[in-house]
């Protein structure tokens, strides 16, 4: 019974509980919006190109603003950054609802609104990821990331889209836009209620919460110094690059070619594809629960990289599957192990990267995970023959294994884990230009001299 309640342990901290409720509401809203946005565009008689612009605008906003979001998360109080981004989301959706009510809503309104919502997500996402270690003791951080992974899998893949489709059928698109706007308002109020106290009393006096005293003492770290730190830590930039390459190899086949494989080769339909997606989501939830219920292993980084590699490999076998039913276990393996790697990675970045640059490092990780996804989709659509599909799937599943072997030879993953030395003073190029004084709070979540970890393959 204790293992079932352990994933909920981070919620005993009031400030994190408020942040989590905000996250939960936002994720459900994202799932609802995933269904509502294209449906509203269709109601406005958008053609294929118009619908593509509406759906793609949010990704463009996210990718183009994510580095700005990381900088804001390091230079300003993260509570305020998250709250204001939610306020922007509320304003945009409220404006769309008003224009819709007036009968003047057009496709270009949706394109602009989707872009701004993507930009707001680019600001709030890195700030929330960087804010979590300020509200949760390090012993509970692994469980907190697993809990957020559970919510993301359930809300975005299952509950949110289901609610969105039901609401559109029952009350119409205007009501859905209005309710989504209200969800942003409630999320902003939850963040505003955070008291901003240190999560662990043992750390009090060494460091106040990330953006309060620490970021207001001394000169803020410049972006070039943050980049100098990033490229000075081989484990960090190599594994972010590893993730980007793996997503280039895998996201296109999964999003573009897999539906055609099910339809053309296996005689399936949308229900079959939906079943595969659902099985992947259930496996992700099971994985998150399993990780949250146990302590992180000693060889944390190696298990993380192994989990990602195992999750990537089934793609090579999918193209040879003789039936939809054999695709389901392959999808489950992908969902289980890729989610495990994501949880490991989030915890390692939060515990190993100094607070002063954590937001920017997280935003660069987001960019590395997202920037090549459109290119992957484009490359997957270049050919349509069976031979082309086989090569894309096989290379997408086998090359990550080769990349992992190269990474293990080039980067020493031993020694990087969640148990960092709290009192270790950071040593890095950016600190050399700004020596610490006895009154300067020190980074307690990690050290600048820490070694290794990978990047997200299933965000």
pLDDT of residue 91: 96
pLDDT of residue 428: 40
176 pLDDT higher than 80: yes
Give the pLDDT mean for 285-306.
81
Please, what's the largest Cα pairwise distance for the chain? 70
- Which has the minimum average pLDDT: 40-54, 122-136, 150-164, 211-225? 211-225
pLDDT of residue 416: 66
Contact status, residue 187 vs residue 86, Cβ threshold 8 Å: yes
Give the pLDDT mean for 18-27.
91
How many C-beta atoms lie closer than 10 Å to residue 406's C-beta? Answer: 12
pLDDT of residue 196: 65
Distance, in Å, from the CA atom of 434 to the CA atom of 361, rounded to the nearest integer, reads 19
Chain mean pLDDT for the chain: 79
371 pLDDT higher than 60: yes
How far apart, in Å, are the Cα atoms of 186 and each of 18, 22, 25, 29, 456? 11, 7, 8, 11, 29
Handedness of CA 92, 94, 96, 102 (dihedral sign): negative
Name the pLDDT band for 147 (thresholds 50, 70, 90): confident
Contact status, residue 221 vs residue 75, Cβ threshold 8 Å: no
Q: Which residue pairs from 39-45 have beta carbons closer than 8 angstroms and sit at least 24 positions apart in sequence?
A: 39/168, 39/173, 40/100, 40/105, 40/110, 40/173, 40/177, 41/107, 41/110, 43/173, 44/105, 44/106, 44/107, 44/110
pLDDT of residue 35: 76
pLDDT of residue 37: 83
141 pLDDT higher than 70: yes
- Which has the minimum average pLDDT: 128-142, 304-318, 379-393, 424-438? 424-438
pLDDT of residue 40: 85
Q: Domains in the chain, please, with CATH?
A: 1-199+207-216 (1.20.1250.20), 219-459 (1.20.1250.20)
Q: Which of 77, 84, 92 is nearest to 29 (CA)?
A: 92
144 pLDDT higher than 80: yes
Hunting for tokens 């997503």 — which residue is that?
247
Name the pLDDT band for 218 (thresholds 50, 70, 90): very low
Cβ-based burial of 149 (10 A; exposed 0-12, middle 13-18, buried ≥19): buried
First to last CA, the chain: 30
Name the pLDDT band for 90 (thresholds 50, 70, 90): very high
pLDDT of residue 117: 93
349 pLDDT higher than 60: yes
Q: Which residues of 295-305 are buried (b: 16+ CB within 10 A; e: fewer)?
A: ebeeebbebbb
Distance, in Å, from the CA atom of 66 to the CA atom of 122, rounded to the nearest integer, reads 4
pLDDT of residue 418: 45
pLDDT of residue 203: 38
45 pLDDT higher than 70: yes
41 pLDDT higher than 60: yes
pLDDT of residue 453: 33
- Which has the minimum average pLDDT: 198-207, 219-228, 347-356, 406-415? 198-207
- Percent of the chain topping pLDDT 70: 82
324 pLDDT higher than 70: yes
Distance, in Å, from the CA atom of 179 to the CA atom of 160, rounded to the nearest integer, reads 12
pLDDT of residue 6: 67
Handedness of CA 47, 48, 49, 52 (dihedral sign): positive
Q: Which of 146, 183, 145, 149 is nearest to 163 (CA)?
A: 183
50 pLDDT higher than 90: no
Name the pLDDT band for 4 (thresholds 50, 70, 90): low
Distance, in Å, from the CA atom of 135 to the CA atom of 142, rounded to the nearest integer, reads 13
């Amino acid at each position: 019974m204790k293992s079932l309640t352990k994933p909920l342990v981070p919620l005993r901290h009031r400030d994190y509980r408020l942040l989590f409720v905000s996250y939960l509401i936002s994720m459900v809203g994202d799932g609802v919006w995933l269904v509502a946005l294209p449906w509203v565009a269709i109601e406005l008689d958008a053609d294929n190109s118009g619908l593509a612009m509406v759906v793609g605008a949010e990704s463009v906003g996210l990718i183009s603003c994510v580095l700005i979001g990381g900088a804001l998360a390091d230079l300003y109080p993260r509570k305020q950054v998250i709250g204001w981004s939610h306020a922007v989301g509320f304003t945009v959706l409220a404006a769309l609802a008003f224009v819709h009510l007036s009968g003047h809503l057009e496709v270009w309104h949706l394109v602009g609104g989707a872009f701004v919502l993507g930009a707001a997500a680019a600001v709030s996402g890195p700030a929330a990821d960087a804010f979590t270690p300020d509200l949760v003791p390090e012993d509970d951080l692994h469980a907190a990331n697993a809990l957020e992974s559970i919510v993301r899998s359930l809300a975005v893949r299952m509950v949110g889209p289901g609610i969105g489709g039901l609401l559109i059928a029952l009350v119409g698109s205007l009501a859905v836009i209005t309710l989504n706007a209200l969800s942003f308002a409630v999320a902003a109020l939850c963040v505003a209620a955070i008291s901003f106290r240190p999560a662990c009393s043992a750390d009090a006096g060494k460091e106040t919460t990330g953006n309060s005293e620490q970021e207001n003492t001394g000169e803020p770290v410049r972006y070039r110094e943050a980049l100098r730190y990033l490229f000075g830590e081989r484990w960090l930039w190599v594994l972010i690059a590893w993730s980007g390459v793996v997503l280039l190899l895998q996201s296109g086949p999964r999003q573009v070619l897999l539906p055609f494989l099910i339809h053309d080769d296996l005689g399936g339909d949308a229900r079959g594809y939906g079943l595969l997606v659902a099985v992947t989501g259930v496996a992700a939830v099971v994985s998150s629960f399993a990780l949250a219920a146990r302590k992180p292993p000693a060889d944390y980084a190696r298990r993380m990289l192994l989990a990602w590699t195992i999750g990537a490999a089934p793609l090579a076998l999918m193209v040879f599957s003789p039936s939809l039913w054999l695709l389901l276990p392959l999808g489950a393996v992908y969902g289980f192990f890729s989610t495990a790697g994501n949880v490991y990675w989030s915890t390692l970045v939060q515990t190993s990267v100094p607070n002063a640059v954590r937001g920017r490092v997280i935003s660069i990780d987001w960019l590395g995970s997202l920037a090549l996804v459109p290119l992957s989709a484009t490359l997957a659509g270049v050919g349509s023959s069976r031979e082309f599909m086989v090569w894309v799937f096989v290379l997408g599943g086998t090359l990550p294994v080769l990349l992992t072997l190269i990474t293990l030879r080039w980067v020493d993953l031993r020694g990087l884990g969640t148990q960092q030395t709290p009192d270790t003073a950071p040593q890095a190029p950016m600190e050399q230009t700004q020596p610490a004084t006895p009154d300067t709070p020190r980074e307690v979540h990690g050290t600048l001299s820490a070694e290794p970890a990978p990047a997200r393959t299933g965000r």
